[in-house]
Structures are given as structure tokens and as C-alpha cells.
Amino acid sequence: MAYRKEQESTLASLRVSFETEMHEMGERLEDREEAVQRVAERLRRRELELESVRKDLEQMSSMCQRREDESRRLQETLDIERCNHGIVTKYKFNSKAGNGALLRLDCAL
């Protein structure tokens, strides 16, 4: 009978130890889940910020392209007017070449 009580006591001790460990593991799991949720929220916010920055950059790029096109048209108009009025500019900057190349203007007087 003492043996049986000892086994029951050992079993009860193991059960308490197991339940305590399961409870601690559950708490750690909850803590990790909360940490994962916080990180996921930070990532969502960062993703929104990056999307906003991407849109801003696209708008800026488009605006710069329009301004570059406008500048090119204005320069071409100036060159035509100079030719029409006998003011010859021998060379102009070629912005399309992108390397600072100069082009000779063919302007007959």
C-alpha cells in the first residue's frame, strides 16, 4: 500500500509539474504571438509609408519629365527664333544624349 501511495504521489507531482510547464509554455506562446502582431503592424505601417513614397516619387519623376520636355520645346523655339532673326547659335546642348554632347545647328541665313 505504501508503494501505491508513493506512485500516486509521484504521479500527482508529475501532473503538477506538467501542468505548470504547459501553463508557462502557453504564456510564452501568447507573448510571442503579441510580439508577432506588433511586428506585423509595424510592417503594415512601413508598407503604407513606402507605397506613399513610391507614389510621390512617381509624381516627381513625371513632373521632372514634363519640365524637361517643356524646356526642350522652349529651347527649340528659341533656336528657331534666333535662326529666323539672324542670331546664329552654332551649337546647342543635346539633353537627349545625356552626356553633355553638343549638336551643330543647321541654320541657313
pLDDT tens digits, one per residue of 43-85: 999 999 999 999 999 999 999 999 999 999 999 999 888 888 7
Q: pTM of the entire structure?
A: 0.52
The C-alpha atoms of residue 1 and residue 42 are separated, in whole angstroms, by 61
Among 107, 84, 108, 69, residue whose Cα is nearest residue 92: 107
State whether residue 104 is helix, strand or coil. strand
Rounded-to-10 torsion of CA 91, 95, 100, 101: -50
